[in-house]
Amino acid sequence: MKNDETEALVQEMDRTMTQFRRIGGQVRSSHAIRPSEFTLLHNIILCTETDPRGIKVSDLSFQLQITPAGVTHIINSLEERGYLERLAEPTDRRVVLVRATQKGKEIIEAMRSDHFCFLKGLTDYLGEHDSKELIRILSSVLNYLKNRGTDY
């Protein structure tokens, strides 16, 4: 590919990615929680399926690769709005556990349902062939991102 052709493709890809960011922000704003809050709350729900007592902040921090202070900030926000609760560990009162409230479980389920409906609509719109092609391309992008390291 010639340098001019590569430059044109890079610019078009940049414009397209910018449009995705703008539209993504509009879609997410229809829900009451931010993407980081969704990720944390969804993870709490998954973890408490095996241990309904809750999960430690340090464990969440490790699993999500977020600092404990970052996790605590998100937890505070979710707790203020009634999406999760803090509890003392029964065997060690110094340890604090968090778990989703019913309200938290309901918003995650609603968001997952909306997301599934979106993907179903996209799949219907694209058709089987283009949907498979999109999955193939996105998988290639993921592999590129995983293997490229931190260099730009």
pLDDT in tens, 134-147: 999 999 999 998 89
* Domain spans in the chain, listed from the N-terminal domain onward: 1-30, 31-147
pTM of the model: 0.76
Query: What's the mean pLDDT when you consider all of the chain?
Result: 90
Q: Is the pLDDT of residue 40 over 70?
A: yes
Identify the pLDDT of residue 29.
54
**pLDDT score of 76:** 96
pLDDT number for residue 26 = 61
Confirm or reject CATH 1.10.10.10 for domain 31-147, answering yes or no.
Answer: yes
Interatomic CA distance for residues 135 and 64, integer angstroms: 25
pLDDT given for residue 103 in this prediction:
96
> Nearest-CA neighbor of 109 among 19, 16, 37, 42?
42
The two tokens of residue 76 are 């505070």
- Mean pLDDT on 69-76: 95
